[in-house]
Amino acid sequence: MPQSFSVVVLHIVFSTKNRAPIIRRDVESDLHAFLGGITRDCGCVALDIGGTEDHVHLLCSLSRTITIASLVEDVKTRSSKWLKTKGKSYGQFHWQNGYGAFSIGKSQEGALKRYIARQKEHHKRVSFQDEFRTILRKYVVQWDERYVWD
Protein backbone atom coordinates (compact mmCIF):
# COMPACT_ATOMS: atom_id res chain seq x y z
CA MET A 1 0.00 0.00 0.00
CA PRO A 2 1.65 3.27 -1.07
CA GLN A 3 -0.15 5.46 1.50
CA SER A 4 -0.60 5.30 5.25
CA PHE A 5 -3.85 6.21 6.94
CA SER A 6 -4.92 6.53 10.55
CA VAL A 7 -7.78 7.87 12.59
CA VAL A 8 -6.78 8.07 16.23
CA VAL A 9 -8.96 10.27 18.42
CA LEU A 10 -7.61 11.04 21.88
CA HIS A 11 -8.90 12.53 25.11
CA ILE A 12 -5.87 14.05 26.82
CA VAL A 13 -6.11 15.33 30.40
CA PHE A 14 -3.49 17.11 32.51
CA SER A 15 -3.51 19.47 35.45
CA THR A 16 -1.51 22.33 36.84
CA LYS A 17 1.28 21.45 39.25
CA ASN A 18 -0.33 20.36 42.54
CA ARG A 19 -3.69 21.21 40.95
CA ALA A 20 -3.14 24.89 41.75
CA PRO A 21 -6.27 26.85 40.69
CA ILE A 22 -4.23 29.28 38.63
CA ILE A 23 -5.83 29.32 35.16
CA ARG A 24 -7.94 32.44 35.48
CA ARG A 25 -10.83 33.27 33.18
CA ASP A 26 -8.93 36.24 31.75
CA VAL A 27 -6.41 33.91 30.05
CA GLU A 28 -8.45 30.72 29.74
CA SER A 29 -9.85 31.23 26.22
CA ASP A 30 -6.47 32.49 24.94
CA LEU A 31 -4.78 29.47 26.55
CA HIS A 32 -7.21 27.08 24.88
CA ALA A 33 -6.64 28.78 21.52
CA PHE A 34 -2.88 28.58 22.07
CA LEU A 35 -3.14 24.86 22.91
CA GLY A 36 -5.09 24.38 19.68
CA GLY A 37 -2.37 26.15 17.73
CA ILE A 38 0.36 23.97 19.24
CA THR A 39 -1.70 20.89 18.44
CA ARG A 40 -2.05 22.08 14.83
CA ASP A 41 1.72 22.82 14.64
CA CYS A 42 2.27 19.18 15.60
CA GLY A 43 0.17 18.06 12.64
CA CYS A 44 -2.81 17.12 14.80
CA VAL A 45 -6.32 18.54 14.91
CA ALA A 46 -7.77 19.93 18.15
CA LEU A 47 -11.45 18.98 18.11
CA ASP A 48 -12.27 20.57 21.48
CA ILE A 49 -10.42 22.09 24.43
CA GLY A 50 -11.81 22.94 27.83
CA GLY A 51 -11.24 22.63 31.53
CA THR A 52 -11.18 24.63 34.71
CA GLU A 53 -8.74 26.66 36.73
CA ASP A 54 -6.64 23.59 37.55
CA HIS A 55 -6.73 21.30 34.51
CA VAL A 56 -7.27 20.92 30.77
CA HIS A 57 -9.14 18.44 28.58
CA LEU A 58 -7.93 18.22 24.99
CA LEU A 59 -9.90 16.22 22.43
CA CYS A 60 -7.79 15.77 19.32
CA SER A 61 -7.14 13.70 16.27
CA LEU A 62 -3.57 12.41 16.41
CA SER A 63 -1.39 12.73 13.33
CA ARG A 64 0.16 9.51 12.12
CA THR A 65 3.58 11.19 12.27
CA ILE A 66 3.81 12.00 16.00
CA THR A 67 3.67 10.02 19.22
CA ILE A 68 1.28 10.84 22.02
CA ALA A 69 4.20 11.57 24.33
CA SER A 70 5.76 14.02 21.87
CA LEU A 71 2.46 15.82 21.33
CA VAL A 72 1.79 16.20 25.05
CA GLU A 73 5.37 17.27 25.78
CA ASP A 74 5.17 19.96 23.10
CA VAL A 75 1.74 21.15 24.22
CA LYS A 76 2.74 21.38 27.88
CA THR A 77 6.21 22.87 27.33
CA ARG A 78 5.17 25.56 24.87
CA SER A 79 1.99 26.52 26.74
CA SER A 80 3.86 26.73 30.04
CA LYS A 81 6.39 29.13 28.51
CA TRP A 82 3.54 31.16 26.99
CA LEU A 83 1.62 31.35 30.28
CA LYS A 84 4.71 32.64 32.07
CA THR A 85 4.53 35.74 29.85
CA LYS A 86 0.99 36.55 31.05
CA GLY A 87 1.87 38.33 34.26
CA LYS A 88 3.50 37.92 37.64
CA SER A 89 0.95 35.40 38.90
CA TYR A 90 2.06 33.01 36.13
CA GLY A 91 5.79 33.53 36.59
CA GLN A 92 6.26 30.19 38.35
CA PHE A 93 3.61 28.30 36.36
CA HIS A 94 4.08 24.57 35.76
CA TRP A 95 1.92 21.74 34.53
CA GLN A 96 1.92 18.47 36.44
CA ASN A 97 4.55 16.00 35.27
CA GLY A 98 2.14 13.36 34.02
CA TYR A 99 -0.98 13.22 31.90
CA GLY A 100 -3.72 10.87 30.83
CA ALA A 101 -4.29 9.99 27.17
CA PHE A 102 -7.27 7.84 26.28
CA SER A 103 -8.43 6.67 22.88
CA ILE A 104 -12.04 7.17 21.95
CA GLY A 105 -14.13 6.14 18.98
CA LYS A 106 -15.40 8.71 16.50
CA SER A 107 -18.92 7.91 17.69
CA GLN A 108 -17.97 9.12 21.20
CA GLU A 109 -16.80 12.57 20.05
CA GLY A 110 -20.13 14.32 20.59
CA ALA A 111 -20.57 13.00 24.12
CA LEU A 112 -17.02 13.98 25.05
CA LYS A 113 -17.48 17.48 23.60
CA ARG A 114 -20.59 17.89 25.76
CA TYR A 115 -18.64 16.63 28.79
CA ILE A 116 -15.83 19.11 28.16
CA ALA A 117 -18.32 21.96 27.70
CA ARG A 118 -19.81 21.24 31.14
CA GLN A 119 -16.50 21.20 33.03
CA LYS A 120 -17.11 24.26 35.17
CA GLU A 121 -20.51 22.99 36.31
CA HIS A 122 -19.17 19.45 36.81
CA HIS A 123 -16.36 20.65 39.05
CA LYS A 124 -18.69 22.42 41.41
CA ARG A 125 -19.44 18.90 42.66
CA VAL A 126 -16.42 16.78 41.72
CA SER A 127 -12.71 17.42 42.32
CA PHE A 128 -10.17 16.94 39.56
CA GLN A 129 -8.70 13.96 41.43
CA ASP A 130 -12.08 12.22 41.66
CA GLU A 131 -12.79 12.99 38.01
CA PHE A 132 -9.43 11.58 36.93
CA ARG A 133 -9.91 8.44 39.03
CA THR A 134 -13.30 7.95 37.33
CA ILE A 135 -11.68 8.29 33.90
CA LEU A 136 -8.97 5.79 34.87
CA ARG A 137 -11.62 3.31 36.03
CA LYS A 138 -13.64 3.83 32.85
CA TYR A 139 -10.62 2.87 30.75
CA VAL A 140 -9.64 0.05 33.13
CA VAL A 141 -6.28 1.61 33.96
CA GLN A 142 -4.51 0.38 37.07
CA TRP A 143 -2.71 3.10 39.00
CA ASP A 144 -0.86 3.76 42.22
CA GLU A 145 -2.01 6.90 44.04
CA ARG A 146 1.58 7.60 45.11
CA TYR A 147 2.57 8.29 41.50
CA VAL A 148 -0.47 10.00 40.01
CA TRP A 149 -0.41 13.37 41.76
CA ASP A 150 2.23 16.08 41.80
The mean pLDDT value for 30-34 works out to: 98
Rounded CA separation 109/9 (Å)? 8
* Domain locations in the chain as residue ranges: 8-147
For 91-148, the pLDDT digits (tens) are: 999 999 999 999 999 899 999 999 999 999 999 999 999 999 999 999 999 999 999 9
Q: φ and ψ at 10, to 5 degrees? A: -120, 145
pTM score, whole prediction: 0.94
Average pLDDT of span 51-74? 97
Helix (H) or strand (E) segment spanning residue 60: strand 55-62
The Cα–Cα gap between 71 and 52 comes to: 21
Count how many Cα atoms sit within 13 Å of the Cα of residue 52 in the half-sphere of its side chain: 18
Give me the mean pLDDT over the 16-24 stretch.
95
What band does 5 get if pLDDT is binned at 50, 70 and 90? confident
User: What local confidence, expressed as pLDDT, does residue 98 receive?
Assistant: 95
The answer to whether domain 8-147 has CATH 3.30.70.1290 is yes
pLDDT recorded at residue 4: 84
